[in-house]
Chain A
Amino acid sequence: MSDLAPMTRAPGMDATAAAAIPPLLEARGLRRSFGATIALDDVSLGLAGGEIHALIGENGSGKSTLIKMLSGIVRPDSGEIRCDGSPVRFADPQAARRAGIVTCFQETLVLEELSVRDNIVLGQDGVIRRCRGPAAEAALARAALAELGVAIDLDRPLGRLKLAQRQLVTIARALAGPWRLLILDESTSALDVEERDRLFDALFRYRAAGRAILFVSHRMDEIARIADRTTVLRSGRSVATLAAAQADTPRLLALMSGPEEARAALGQATPSPPTARSRGVVLRADGIVLRPRAAPIALDLSAGEILGLAGLEGHGQERFLDCIAGLAAPDRGTITGGTTRVRSVVDAARAGIAFLPRDRKRDGIFAPLSVADNLTIARLGRFSRAGLIRRIRRLEAVRTAMARLRVRARGPEAAIDTLSGGNQQKVLLGRLLLTEPRVLALNDPMRGVDPGAKHDLYDELRALAATRIAVLLLSTELPELCLLCDRVAVFRDHAVVAVLDRAALSEPRLIAAMFGHAAADDRA
């Protein structure tokens, strides 16, 4: 436990004393360019001990670069970083760590083959020297996980864990060691409500102990709930730092999108018009039993309908989606797409079911390949003759798809990994659409997508529904489900406990259902 002891000033210090001493970390006029791209233009930021400081901004606004700079990975071209009032220059990530700054990155960098314990203590040893014995390592790892209120088998390879558990492990890794500033980059994206609440409890404890937290999130509700102050980045500049009282969602959204283009963002978007459900069933799941003793599931999906799948992490909604896509087989029951019985991915393809996996980086994009390749790879036959690709033809199709999906990229030949997460997701959706699907099965498509791109994707899903494509949308964001879906099926214990119609949809109701408090009249 001694490793977890805060390296910070004693808690309970009164406000005047805190104001007299310099902030724990202060950034002034940070600037950095990569070639022609200016990633950071002018960013200033102060972090005091005992605060949770939120950082928001659209993708590309400079959040990642700022975090990398504070973590010693990227060096500023100009500007300065001060720790306790004195200027510092971090030569490498270890230097930042020695200064007490630990970071949990959005791209969860883990070694899948290694155990949970090894992943947590990773980076603390030298190349050969181990700092401590196996028992001490285990104790350290267990303590770090306990801080987050989770118990995970320390010897399991990380690759076998669920995404949420992996994310918790990466947070635990940051916590395992002395620190006084914790940077969390989109660290709640894979967590369910319960796990997230436990993380927040831990953050509140750290705040009370006088440590600082820099919290990066796309979720307004989270920011409203935990942030003491919020700094908004736009186009590489820090445009405002607001105290909690001033930081209401409309104001933050306005600051992020800029006064000139105050787009209607998430909270203000118009809900989808209700869809008539009489347009014909395109997918029927009948008597699906996801695991022994679970109640059977019966769900129909009509052409042009958006059906949401909700549930706490690991309650069966993901497995249900896998069954629809032919990737997994249910214990019992049948899935029928059109007239095709779905038992395998081949059947699913024949039934016109297109699946979007959850982990974009691992299962979606072909990282060094171009946007054009990524878009067309599954349907190259369409643009080729005798095995040779007809470039002009393909380029036209790619340009059309990019325009329609509002993909922001240098061009069709740009490498996909130079695009923001949201634009990558648009390309992947485009890939599915080229297969001319009747059913889209999407596993959390908005994960890690910036608000602007999210908005584009919402519009696109609605437009697709209007063309009679049916959409199965698994999402961890409740506002999103409320906004988009005609119906939402709520999973609990591997069964559907409620199907909420558009009229009945609301966040409180979804949460109630997820936690097993479904009202009797909502039951399917």
Chain B
Amino acid sequence: MLARHLSRWRGEGGGYAALVLLASGLYLGTAALIPGYLSLASLRSVLLLASLLGIAAIGQTLTIVLGGLDLSIPAVIGFAEVTVAQLYGQGWPFAAAALLVLAAALLFGAMNGLVASGLEVHPLIVTLASGSILLGAILAVTHGQASGTVPDWLSATVSVVGHTGPIPLPGAVVAWLVAAAGIVILEHRSVPGRWLYAIGANASAARYARLPLRRVWMLAYAVSAGFAALAGMLLAGFSGAADAEVGAPYLFTTVAAVVIGGTPLSGGRGGYGRTVLGCLIITELTTLLIGLGLDQPGQEIFLGAMIVLLVATYGRQTHLGLRV
């Protein structure tokens, strides 16, 4: 039944209904199964965790739409988390530390895009390698002695009980929703946004149409690294400890959020709106599994099976036989 709904989705737009249904159904289903889940505190927890994932997954979505993949996101998260805490701990003004981290991340991402498009090396390899280099560099510089502090307001931004002005949601959630709206608008209404989709859909045609492929690749990977850095800085406030490996879980979950949202890895379709729902679904799902007391291997098997199921369902949508 669900499969039939999902298989009707095509192209960029439309078909959100089933995804929204899945996200809200999961929430209500969990609430029915677990008394007490239907509380503001629980909702805020889920939203906060989804927002951290969501911010990290912005770049994953954009690079996948472009026909690539960004596996350096965890490394950039770790870099930002460690660096911002360390610099602030050494007495730098937070804004200066954050700007430096952001600038370094943008440069790093642009390099990823440049190498992947310029040398025509698959971005999977480029970003895996560059991520590994970045992590190695952090270890070399800090000798694993990373330490530092973050300002209290940053911790409050990623605190479940945080407020944003009169809104009873932590700053990270509000920032995520604003960024999501911005990204979705840019995807559809900005010139680079349309280029992104065109290049992802057909790089060869993009070359003939003289689109600036290299610039778009650099831009997409720079944006990816920029938001990964933002996620890293938020995680510094979230977890407290400076840890270069803090981004590790986001390798799997960012790709999974994109895929569950229905953006195909082949590029040119889908978009961040879907990933937002994918992030919510993943977070709700893992929460449900924890709530049901499933052990760790059980959770991973369930999540993996769910992804295979969804991808198999989405894959059917382009079955040539179903086309007129």
Q: Are A and B direct contacts in the complex by CB distance below 8 Å?
A: yes
In the bound complex, CA of A37 to CA of B322 (Å): 13
- Chain A hits for B195, CB < 8 A: 377, 380
Whether, in the assembled complex, B90 has its beta carbon less than 8 Å from a beta carbon of chain A, the answer is: no
Whether, in the assembled complex, A274 has its beta carbon less than 8 Å from a beta carbon of chain B, the answer is: no
Residue interface mask A381-404, B partner, CB < 8 A = 1: 100100111010000000000000
B-contacting 9-mer, from A288-296, A358-366, A516-524: A358-366
B-contacting 9-mer, from A76-84, A129-137, A367-375: A367-375
Which residues of B183-227 are within 8 A (CB) of A? 189-192, 194-195, 197-198, 201-202, 204-211
Taking residues whose C-beta sits less than 8 angstroms from the other chain, chain B's interface range is: 20 to 34
Whether, in the assembled complex, B301 has its beta carbon less than 8 Å from a beta carbon of chain A, the answer is: no
- Chain A hits for B274, CB < 8 A: none
- Chain B hits for A234, CB < 8 A: none
In the bound complex, CA of A431 to CA of B163 (Å): 50
A365 near B324 (CB under 8 angstroms)?
no
Could you tell me the distance in whole angstroms from the C-beta of A327 to the nearest C-beta in chain B?
A: 9
Interface of B, helix, strand, loop or mixed by DSSP: helix
In the bound complex, CA of A380 to CA of B194 (Å): 9
A68 near B321 (CB under 8 angstroms)?
yes
- Specify which of A34, A39, A366, A415 is in contact with B205 (CB 8 Å cutoff): A366
A377 near B194 (CB under 8 angstroms)?
yes
- Chain B hits for A388, CB < 8 A: 189-191
Closest partner residue, chain B, to A373 (CB atom): B194
Whether, in the assembled complex, B298 has its beta carbon less than 8 Å from a beta carbon of chain A, the answer is: no
Residue interface mask A44-69, B partner, CB < 8 A = 1: 00000000000000000000110010
Whether, in the assembled complex, B268 has its beta carbon less than 8 Å from a beta carbon of chain A, the answer is: yes
- Decide: A365 near B321, CB < 8 A? Known: A349-B210, A391-B189: no
- Decide: A387 near B208, CB < 8 A? Known: A367-B202, A415-B11: no
A364 near B189 (CB under 8 angstroms)?
no
- Chain B hits for A364, CB < 8 A: 205, 208
- Chain A hits for B194, CB < 8 A: 369, 373, 377, 380, 389
- Chain A hits for B11, CB < 8 A: 368, 415
- Chain A hits for B269, CB < 8 A: 368
Could you tell me the distance in whole angstroms from the C-beta of A375 to the nearest C-beta in chain B?
A: 11
Whether, in the assembled complex, B300 has its beta carbon less than 8 Å from a beta carbon of chain A, the answer is: no
A380 near B12 (CB under 8 angstroms)?
no
Closest partner residue, chain B, to A360 (CB atom): B205
Whether, in the assembled complex, A220 has its beta carbon less than 8 Å from a beta carbon of chain B, the answer is: no
B321 near A74 (CB under 8 angstroms)?
yes
In the bound complex, CA of A418 to CA of B10 (Å): 12
A384 near B191 (CB under 8 angstroms)?
yes
Of listed B197, B202, B204, residue having the most chain A CB within 10 A: B202
Could you tell me the distance in whole angstroms from the C-beta of A380 to the nearest C-beta in chain B?
A: 4
Whether, in the assembled complex, A7 has its beta carbon less than 8 Å from a beta carbon of chain B, the answer is: no
In the bound complex, CA of A349 to CA of B211 (Å): 12
A37 near B324 (CB under 8 angstroms)?
yes
Given contacts A369-B12, A377-B211, A380-B191, 4 further A-B contacts (CB under 8 A): A65-B324, A349-B210, A368-B11, A378-B211
Q: Pick 12 A–B contacts, CB within 8 A, sort by A.
A: A345-B210, A363-B205, A364-B205, A365-B205, A366-B206, A368-B12, A369-B194, A378-B210, A387-B190, A388-B189, A388-B190, A391-B189
For the complex of A and B, 5 pairs with smallest distance between CB atoms: A366-B201, A378-B209, A380-B191, A34-B324, A73-B321
